[in-house]
Amino acid sequence: MTASIDPAEISKFEAMAAEWWDPRGKFRPLHMMNPVRLDYVVTQIAAQFGRDPRAPAPFRGLRILDIGCGGGLLSEPMARLGAEVVGADAAAGNITVARLHADSQNLSIDYRATTAESLAAAGERFDAVLALEIIEHVADPQDFMTTCCALLRTGGMMICSTLNRTPQSFAMAIVGAEWVLRWLPKGTHDWRRFITPDELYELSRKAGLDPVDRRGMVFNPLRRDWRLSDRDLAVNYITTHLRQDWA
């Protein structure tokens, strides 16, 4: 089952797969953003499941899916924290790179060239689903969110990050990152597919999830670093959604 897969989007990332772990390559923006989004992910998971991030292997016993895992920039930190990690990506080239890098780090990660729909159809269930910088690339965002809900156990959480559809995001993500700085190949993003926070919350509710948190991820061009913001969600933002199953 591949309802959320857009072949054109997959082809873009297949072409860049070999550069996943080059911090100065085409995925430079993700390498720069990764510490701040990782901080958010760890904080949210630890709070939801009552874990102390400072403890040894604090996520031991948790099963985490990194959907659209790419080269494993998030899968590897989750594995180091003790989680049982499944990294899934529809682009087989990404999975090849991810496996090789994990092996070089002596990390055990279950990488699969597959889709969210296939995992759900197989009855796979997780404590947390990470869907970072992927929903703006899927064919049907509502189907994707609904499938992610199906992949969660009751009490599980989905963390989703994406780009807001604003003039600021067009200036930063398209003009700045693709046209001027050339951090990404032109055409990597389609601004029309960006999703506002309110739209994402509505997708979440329709999928059967309870959206509980959203924070902006703000880039400072002078310091060339990122920070979380309670107010500025104009460009990048990250959200948490719970599967409560109250009914």
- Going by the annotation, the residues of the binding site are 37, 68, 89, 132
Task: Report the distance separating Cα 154 and Cα 116, nearest Å.
Answer: 18
Q: Which of 217, 234, 210 is nearest to 158 (CA)?
A: 210
User: Annotated binding site for S-adenosyl-L-methionine: which residue ranges?
Assistant: 37, 68, 89, 132
Measured at the CA of 23, the angle between CA 127 and CA 166, to 5 degrees, comes to 70
Contact between residue 161 and residue 238 where contact means Cβ atoms under 8 Å apart: yes
Q: Kindly state the helix (H) or strand (E) to which residue 161 belongs, with its residue range.
A: strand 152-163
Buried b (16+ CB within 10 A) or exposed e, 121-146: eeebebbbbbbbbbbbbbeebebbbb
Measured at the CA of 83, the angle between CA 119 and CA 31, to 5 degrees, comes to 85
Tokens encoding 203: 């997708």
Which residues, at least 6 apart from 17, have a Cβ–Cβ distance to it below 8 Å? Answer: 71, 91, 93, 94, 96, 97
